[in-house]
Structure 1
Amino acid sequence: MAALGGLVAISLGLGLAAASGFRVFLPPLLLSGAINIGIVEPSGQLEMLDGWMPFSVLLCAVLLEIGSYLIPWLDNVLDVVASPAAVIAGIGMMGSVIGAETNLDPIVQWTMAVVGGGGVAGTVQAGTVATRAVSTGTTGGLANPIISVFEAIMAIVVTLLALLAPLLCLVVVMIGTVYAFKLILRQRNRIKPVHMA
């Protein structure tokens, strides 16, 4: 694999994986749109996103996902499903992109996807869960719809950045992942174990 081409593919994959941590279906929807209008060349595993039928199905999933997150308390319940789904989506996004853009051995490709894509998506998702938990605890969930809208906007911004400037997106994802990790640790340290006498 050419060094720069491989770095771009990995950057694109990590960017889409990070965006999957905010919203599961938005990155594949926007990637499908980019394929359909000719910004991204569909090859390999990305061909499944080519065509308006996959785009339409993903659009319905996005509308349902975003709408559900706007309902206070339901958003916390959805996190139980969304957390593993975000990791799976991150793995799928990164694995598909680097598989389509590089000639890596499939074992290397999917190992990178699991560790990199799954790790980044899981960290971002855990950061959103921690943020929503703080919001629910301090506002009774009333601020959660605002946070949900912000997360959807972040998913769009990170996905577009990954598609249009993947190397810049890599830097943003690295900074964002460190921030999310710190947020998770801070939230974890606030939760004190209860000792029974």
Structure 2
Amino acid sequence: MEIDAAGLVLGASTGIGLAAASGFRVFLPPFLLSLWFRLGLMDLNLEGSDFEPLTSDMALIVMGSASLIEILAYKVPFLDNALDTVATPLAGLAGASVVAVTLQGSDPVFQWAFAIIAGGGTSIGIQTATVTGRGFLSAVSLGAANPVFSMVEDIMSLFLILIALLAPFLALIGILIASGVLLSRKIRQLKVEKEPNH
């Protein structure tokens, strides 16, 4: 079933919000998206598509278990740093996947191009920032602050997921604003670095 222009914008907004959440927690966004489908709260039909297994009992059990393990494992100092090496590529995969799901019914070329570039790019960008922050905290606090940092990540991921599912346009606007702020800071930083020392 093809989706109209309004559904396309709605799906893209939802997907980008979930992709951003995947940058904080890899398994939680697809798990809650799957649960959303099972509860009949997602106005999208996956029947007969490659994503139909997402709504199965097995998918819910596996992703729910993986979400719980991920959340608990990130509370262990230095184990969390090691997990980041695996979580970074997985975040890109999760980000692209959730966007592709929410764009089901659109042109396949657009669906996957947007999913990989926007979805994967968003989640990897956020994941990279969290890796940097966790690495800094590990160095200055010897890991003592890492569990607190992890809890903040949990909250941010859950918040973005709920906003993406309940108010997707707000999620998109928030992500665009945050991206603009981060980009402007990076540009200012590069300008300062290029200025000659007196």
Shared fold (TM-score, shorter chain, > 0.5): yes
- Per-residue CA deviation, residues 80-113 of structure 1 (Å, 9 max, x unaligned), is 0000110111111111211x2x421x22211111
- Cα separation, partners in 2 of 1:52 and 1:167, compared to 1, 3 Å: same
Moved more, 35-44 or 81-90: 35-44
- The 5 A counterparts of 1:77-156 are 77-98=82-103, 100=104, 102-104=105-107, 106-156=108-158
Structure 2: segments with no counterpart, 5+ residues: 191-198
Compute the displacement of 1:171 (Å): 1.0
- Residue 64 of structure 2, aligned match among 39, 59, 68: 59
Compute the displacement of 1:2 (Å): 2.9
Compute the displacement of 1:56 (Å): 1.2
- The percent of aligned pairs where both chains have the same amino acid is 39
Kept in 1, the 8 Å contact 2:8–2:106? The answer is no
In structure 2, the partner of 1:15 is: 17
Secondary structure, aligned partner of 1:173 = helix
Two-structure CA RMSD over aligned residues (Å): 2.1
- Per-residue CA deviation, residues 110-145 of structure 1 (Å, 9 max, x unaligned), is 111111001100111011111111211221111111
Kept in 2, the 8 Å contact 1:15–1:166? The answer is yes
Compute the displacement of 1:19 (Å): 0.7
In structure 1, the partner of 2:52 is: 47
Distance in 2 separating the partners of 1:134 and 1:182: 22
Kept in 1, the 8 Å contact 2:93–2:120? The answer is yes
- Cα separation, partners in 2 of 1:42 and 1:65, compared to 1, 3 Å: farther
- Cα separation, partners in 2 of 1:168 and 1:67, compared to 1, 3 Å: same
In structure 2, the partner of 1:29 is: 31
Normalising by structure 2, report the TM-score: 0.85
Compute the displacement of 1:175 (Å): 2.8
Count of residue pairs the alignment pairs up? 184
- Per-residue CA deviation, residues 50-81 of structure 1 (Å, 9 max, x unaligned), is 13321111111011111110000011111000
In structure 2, the partner of 1:193 is: none
Structure 1: segments with no counterpart, 5+ residues: 190-197
